[in-house]
Chains A and B, each alone.
Chain A
Amino acid sequence: MSKKIGVFVCHCGTNISATVDVEKVAEEAKKKNPGVTYTTTHKYMCSDPGQKLLRDKIKEEGLTGIVVAACSPKMHERTFRNAAIKTGLNPYHVEISNIREQCSWVHKDKAVGTTKSIDLVRMMTEKTRKDKSLKPIKVHVTKRALVIGGGIAGIQAALDIADGGNEVILVEREASIGGHMAQLSETFPTLDCSQCIMTPKMVEVAQHENIKLYTWSEIEAVGGYLGNFDIKIRKKARSVDLDLCTGCSSCWQVCPSKKIKSEFDMGLGNRTAIYVPFPQAIPSKPVIDRENCLLFKDARKKNIPPNDSKVCRKCIDACPIAPVKAIDYSQEDEIVEEKVGAIVVATGYRELEDGLYGEYGGGKYKDVITGLQFERLASASGPTDGMIKRPSDGKEPEIIVFIQCVGSRDPSKGCSYCSKTCCMYTAKHTMLYKHKVHHGHAYVFYIDIRCAGKSYEEFAQRAIEEEGATYLRGRVSRVYQKGDKLVVLGADTLTGSVVEIEAEMVVLASAMKAQDDAGEFARKLSIQYDKDMFFSEIHPKLKPVESSSAGIFLAGTCQGPKDIPEAVAQAGAAASKVLALLSSDELEREPVVARVDRQLPPVFSTCIGCFYCQKVCPYSAIEQEDIKARDGSVIKTVARVNEGLCQGCGLCAATCRSKSIELAGFNDEQIYAEINAVEFN
């Protein structure tokens, strides 16, 4: 039975009708296109009356195929397919002919626009004649989520998902959760203590019955697909048994290696080789830094198992746990496998390395420090107990210079974007400085003061008006040492003058950069990243937390620079997406996926096993399948598409040399029918 096709042409107000004669398009479709039994136009097809018209006509005219000539299928394909479902018509018989984005919007000449629209509609009619009914693919959902990264974004996402009643696996590569927020002294614009608002959340994670925490662990591999991810987690050897250890502190008190630069204090303070990164760490149990531990150094040198080294065993001797000590030198990395239904990536950022700016003396002069280092100086839990002291001689600086946009907005350093938080944290730094050094002078070099946010502008103005920070509009050219002073050469473009400041300390508001291993990590997860290595959201406005892979969501600064409230909000958004996904036992997926041809024996499949398809697939959706005889011997190895992973891009079908792969809804027959329908003159 041949199809009865209805063509519905949309005016889209005047968006289409201004450059396309819609009535003529409808008329021509009925006159010339085989199979078309009904045509009409409507001012707004997507409106309720427009959809009703579609439903009514399907019933009245007994239509079995629909072409809606309107905007891009990205906009309303789902709208019209859902309308068709209500009448009992299989939705995959409904096709959109895009005569707006690809026609009316790009043409000025109405005659040209109309001719092109007629062609486009004819092409889609030909395709529709060959459309087959398709059924949505059902995918089982594992009701657990994985959150990667234990900073504020990861913690918030984990708590939200766990509070929703789902099990969460939280993986953090450092020895404690907390991330950068735990390092901060106070937070803008309220100046409340960062750790005071952070630690209750960290404790909540530790106590939550739905959260399984892996610290000192990294993601080894991610397999599977939406609803069914297979995760391999590498639990790095901590050398401390978390179940036995009570965090009593005996071990790190006796550790003789006391001069190791603390990563948590940004190198301004020291730690031991067996250490807890900071007092409020979760878990509050130590880890052995094998690079710097005397025992492990000795074992490496002598090439013996660490347990055999006798150089220093002070920590294990001091451990009061009996009969089995909580410290275990022989511990090795362990791979743990977990199954989850959804993933939230919250891997955070790193601060720009200070050595990049030779002209500012970063990394060369001790008293030129970064923003995060200043946070540690100002923090009550920091290496100076919150006193602002110069790293070189411990003197309280009376003149301090803050340089903004170090790395940010500097394309010559490969960083064209604005790090967004520095204007605010520099204003905060000037305040913290003035609160602690009353007679001190704070100068800030800036290009623009970008403080867009609730109460943010007022905060920055407060730093200037009430706290007396002097803002100078210009970039600093150079910082050099002169005696025990640092001479800062800058400018004030508002007066057109060169400014030379003899400072006692310089703070660089260093850019927020993507993690060093962001690219490698993104490839592990098959998600996309941008030119700055930040992970890409799939739509910058309407899908801000969805990554390019279904079931993987983004939160926090791994997606781009942002401050704490934004990171928390994005984490909440990602968690709500995860909760929606995990709320059903089965997921329905678009059946537009590729299939490898199967035949009866002795051919089995026309696939020749070249696996070019596997190479081009961006989603790792193509697997190798052995076709076996009854005795178990392999007759042939062919490609197979994992329907859960396939996103229907069609690359494999286009690449296949033996035409063995077909993309449902876009098979060769349909595509050729479309092409052949174009009238060339």
Chain B
Amino acid sequence: MKIKISLNESSSDFAKEVEERSGIKVRECYQCGKCTAGCPVAYEMDYMPNQIIRFVQIGAKREALTSRTIWLCASCITCTTRCPKEVKIAELMDVLREMSLEEGLANPLEKNITTFHKSFLNSIKKHGRISELWMLNEYKMKRPKTALQDLVVAPQLISKGKLSFLPHDIKGKDVIKRIFEKCE
């Protein structure tokens, strides 16, 4: 990988953009690696969590936004909790996911995850909360290859009442809708 820095392609702009957008001081990270050390999914990632922060620090925008890592992050917040410099790493991943989608840079290998995220949000937008069945329905329609995935757990979930057939709207779902409108 090669990073080029000149007057036209200055590195600090991306770091500044991320910092302004997230309110997270990315520059404070001193690359100790504790986030990576404790990350439960780091072994699946293409870049370690600390490297993602590093990309932001040195302005490697493309590398950060096309990485699989930002999608694999499960937002368990172990990293944020343990960070000695109090950098909100999990929250940063969220911002990077947003930016990645906006720029159309989301890694194609993680299409499942982006689709899942979208289905999840659509369900909330519509009902004010998750409707597991309808969310999964939307997701599996969009990603037909996953149609049979995890199907074996369905009967168990139904028997425990975890998959209700009709969506339950919350009372203030208009408010939720307005939040979405404001964000979009």
Contact = CB atoms under 8 A, between A and B. Distances in A.
Contact of B57 (A398, A470, A501): A470
Contacts of B95: none
Contacts of A464: 27-28, 30
A500 B30 contact: no
B182 interface: no
Interface of B, secondary structure class, is mixed
B146 interface: no
B7 interface: yes
Given A399-B6, A399-B7, A464-B27, A499 B12 contact: no
A461 B31 CA distance: 12
Interface in B21-67: 25, 27-28, 30-31, 47, 50-51, 54-55, 57-60, 63
Interface stretch (A39-47, A222-230, A312-320, A490-498): A490-498
Nearest to A487: B6
A29 to B, nearest CB: 59
A472 interface: yes
Nearest to B10: A441
B160 interface: no
A399 B27 contact: no
Contacts of A485: 6
B58 A492 contact: yes
Contacts of A470: 11-12, 57-59
Nearest to B52: A495
Nearest to B63: A495
B5 A473 contact: no
A502 B6 contact: yes
A502 B7 contact: yes
B34 to A, nearest CB: 14
B54 A494 contact: yes
A535 interface: no
B3 A499 contact: yes
A599 B11 CA distance: 86
A38 interface: no
A494 B31 contact: yes
B5 A500 contact: yes
Interface of A, secondary structure class, is strand
B171 interface: no
Given A465-B27, A470-B12, A502 B5 contact: yes
A552 B120 CA distance: 79
B1 interface: yes
Nearest to B6: A502
A492 B59 CA distance: 12
A457 to B, nearest CB: 9
B4 interface: yes
Contact of A473 (B3, B31, B55): B31
B4 A495 contact: no
A497 B25 contact: no
Contact of A500 (B2, B12, B58, B63): B2
A177 to B, nearest CB: 40
Interface centre among A399, A443, A472, A494 (most CB of B within 10 A): A494
A399 B31 CA distance: 24
B51 A461 contact: no
Contact of B4 (A468, A494, A500): A500
Contact of B58 (A398, A461, A468, A495): A495
A402 B139 CA distance: 51
A499 B55 CA distance: 12
Contact of B12 (A468, A472, A496): A468
A495 B7 contact: no
Contacts of B11: 441, 470
A486 to B, nearest CB: 11
18 contacts: A399-B5, A441-B10, A461-B28, A461-B30, A464-B27, A470-B58, A472-B58, A494-B50, A495-B51, A495-B58, A496-B1, A497-B1, A497-B3, A498-B3, A499-B5, A499-B58, A500-B3, A502-B5
Which 8 pairs show the lowest CB-CB distances between chains A and B? A502-B6, A497-B1, A501-B5, A498-B2, A494-B54, A499-B3, A495-B54, A465-B27
Interface of A: 398-399, 441, 443, 461, 464-465, 468, 470, 472-473, 485, 492, 494-502
Interface of B: 1-7, 10-12, 25, 27-28, 30-31, 47, 50-51, 54-55, 57-60, 63
